[in-house]
Amino acid sequence: MERSESESIKGVIITGGSGFIGSHMTVALRSRGVPVAIVDRNSPPLVDVNLFVKGAIEDESTWVRLGNELSFEVDTLFHLAARTSVLESINDPSDVFESNLVGFHKALEFCRRSGIGRVGFASTNAAVGNGTTGIITEEAPLLPLTPYGATKAAGEMLASAYTASYGIDVASVRLTNVYGPGMWRKDSIVPRLFRHAVGLSDFAIYGDGQQFRDFVYVKDVVDAFLTLAECRFSGPVSFGSGSSVTVNELVKFVGETSGISIKPRRIPPKPGEMAGVEISLELASKLGLRSEVSLRDGLKMAWENFQEEQGQAAG
Look at residue 86 in the predicted model and tell me its pLDDT. 83
> Which phi and psi (to 5°) does residue 197 adopt?
-60, -30
Kindly report, residue by residue over 141-196, the tens digit of the pLDDT. Answer: 999 989 999 999 999 999 999 999 999 999 999 999 999 999 988 888 999 999 99
Nearest Cα neighbor of 22 from 71, 69, 77 is: 77
Q: Look at 12 and 275; give whichever has higher pLDDT.
A: 12
Given a contact cutoff of 8 angstroms between Cβ atoms, the answer to whether 114 and 64 are in contact is no
pLDDT at 281: 96
Predicted confidence at residue 309, as pLDDT, reads: 86
Integer Cα distance of 62 and 106 in angstroms? 10
Q: How far is CA 281 from CA 1, 131, 242, in A?
A: 15, 18, 6
CB 150 within 8 A of CB 144: yes
- Nearest in space to 244 (alpha carbons), one of 273, 271, 210: 210
Residue 3 pLDDT exceeds 60: no
Residue 269 to residue 262: CA distance in whole angstroms:
20
257-276: average pLDDT: 85
Q: Can you give the pLDDT at residue 315?
A: 58
* Sequence spans of domains, the chain: 12-179+215-241+278-292
Type of residue at 228: L
265 forms bridges with which residues in the sheet?
A: 204
Res. 5 pLDDT band, cuts 50 70 90: low
For domain 12-179+215-241+278-292, the CATH superfamily is NAD(P)-binding Rossmann-like Domain (3.40.50.720)
Could you give the CA distance from residue 304 to residue 35 in angstroms, rounded to a whole number?
A: 30
Please compute the mean of the pLDDT values over residues 274-282 and round it to a whole number: 85
94 pLDDT tier (thresholds 50, 70, 90)? very high
- Give 278's contacts (C-beta < 8 A, 6+ positions apart): 134, 135, 136, 212, 214, 244
Q: What is the pLDDT of residue 45?
A: 84
- 9 has pLDDT over 60: yes
Binning pLDDT at 50, 70 and 90, where does residue 246 land? very high
* CB contact burial 85-95 (16+ within 10 A = b; e otherwise): bbebbbeeeee
- Choose the weakest-confidence range: 30-39, 127-136, 207-216, 238-247: 127-136
pLDDT top residue among 40 and 46? 40
The distance from CA 36 to its chain's CA centroid, rounded to whole angstroms, is: 18
- Residue 130 corresponds to which amino acid? N
The answer, yes or no, to whether residue 311 has pLDDT greater than 90, is: no
With a cut of 60, say whether residue 229 has pLDDT above it. yes
